[in-house]
Structure 1
Amino acid sequence: MKTIKKEAYFEVYENIEELPTAVSDLMAQAAKARLRAYAPYSNFLVGAAILLDNGEVITGNNQENASYPSGLCAERTAIYYAGSQFPDAKIVQMALIAGSENHKTTTPIPPCGACRQAIAEYEIKQSAPIDIYFMGESGEVMRSQSLSNLLPLVFEKSVL
């Protein structure tokens, strides 16, 4: 037997105002997208904004459905749209804002497992890391310089 140690490193910003201007602008677009989410069942609204290497910004939000699990998370809504409309563009940055309508969310909320796997697919496809910023409605913002930091043992096509 052997032991493998994997470490994750995150930058933590006190609030959105501490971010570089370009990132806070991307977060603002994610916040606007969050307000358009359709989440009548969970009351948990998520907004995503993706910056592509061609300068385009794609936004998405979660879309729920009474027939679980037919809905789609904000991250996958945005990333799949980016992939369908700009298949050759690389994803440079992703900004995520999430929070409940039932209580104030002030801790950073990372992508769910399904979204991590979807983001990993694009990171592998483009052979370049995706810079991910995530937060609750307010408070601290966390940065992961790559999805592999959030999902160190990714399932990928080489195992198929």
Structure 2
Amino acid sequence: MKKITVESTLEVYDSLNELPSDVQELMQKAVEARDTAYAPYSNFTVGAALLLDNGEIVSGSNQENASYPSGLCAERTAIYYAGARFPNEKIIRMAITASAKDKETKSPIPPCGACRQAISEYEVKQNSAIEIYFMGKVGKVAKSDSLSNLLPFIFDKTVL
């Protein structure tokens, strides 16, 4: 038997103001998307914005449904729309922000497992990493240079 150690490296910024201006602008698009979320059941709104290599910005918000599995997270809403509208463009960067109605979210909130898998699919498809910035409503912002920091053992087409 052999043990292995898996490490993740993230950069953490104290606030949005510490981010480069282009990332601040992308996060602002994620905030605007968060404000359009339809979350009457969880009261947890999420917005995501993607920067594509052609300069386009695509955003999405979570959309819930009374039949819970039928809803869709903000990250997947944005990434699938980008894939449908701009199938040959690479996703360079993703900004995510999440907010709860009953408390102020101050810690960085990463993508859920299903969204991590979807982001992984696009990193494999485009053969390049996607920078991921994530935060709550306010406070610290975390940055991952690649989804591999958030999901080190990916399930992809090579195992099928």
Alignment TM class, shorter chain as reference? over 0.9
TM-score calculated relative to the size of structure 2: 0.99
**Which residue does 1:56 correspond to in 2?**
56
- Give the unaligned 5+ runs of structure 1: none
Q: 5 Å matches for 1:12-51?
A: 12-51=12-51
SS of the residue corresponding to residue 54 of structure 1 reads coil
**Which residue does 1:118 correspond to in 2?**
118
User: Percent identity between the aligned chains?
Assistant: 64
Which amino acid is the alignment partner of residue 85 of structure 2?
Answer: Q
Whole-Å separation in 2 of the counterparts to 1:3 and 1:125: 30
**Which residue does 1:152 correspond to in 2?**
152
Once the two structures are superposed, residues 97-154 of structure 1 have per-residue CA deviations (whole angstroms, 9 ceiling, x without a partner) of: 0010111100000000000000000000100000000000000000000001100000
Which amino acid is the alignment partner of residue 36 of structure 2?
Answer: R
Which amino acid is the alignment partner of residue 147 of structure 1?
Answer: L
SS of the residue corresponding to residue 41 of structure 2 reads coil
- Give the unaligned 5+ runs of structure 2: none
Runs of 4+ in structure 1 over 2 Å off:
none
Whole-Å separation in 2 of the counterparts to 1:124 and 1:159: 13
Whole-Å separation in 2 of the counterparts to 1:5 and 1:86: 38
How many matched pairs? 160
TM-score calculated relative to the size of structure 1: 0.99
Structure 1 residue 48, shift from structure 2 partner: 0.2
SS of the residue corresponding to residue 69 of structure 1 reads helix
Whole-Å separation in 1 of the counterparts to 2:101 and 2:157: 38
**Which residue does 2:134 correspond to in 1?**
134
Which amino acid is the alignment partner of residue 12 of structure 2?
Answer: V
Alignment RMSD: 0.4
Which amino acid is the alignment partner of residue 152 of structure 1?
Answer: P
Once the two structures are superposed, residues 6-43 of structure 1 have per-residue CA deviations (whole angstroms, 9 ceiling, x without a partner) of: 11000000000110000000000000000000000000
Whole-Å separation in 2 of the counterparts to 1:101 and 1:16: 21
2:11 is aligned with 1:11: yes
Which amino acid is the alignment partner of residue 114 of structure 2?
Answer: A
Q: 5 Å matches for 1:55-94?
A: 55-94=55-94
Structure 1 residue 4, shift from structure 2 partner: 1.2
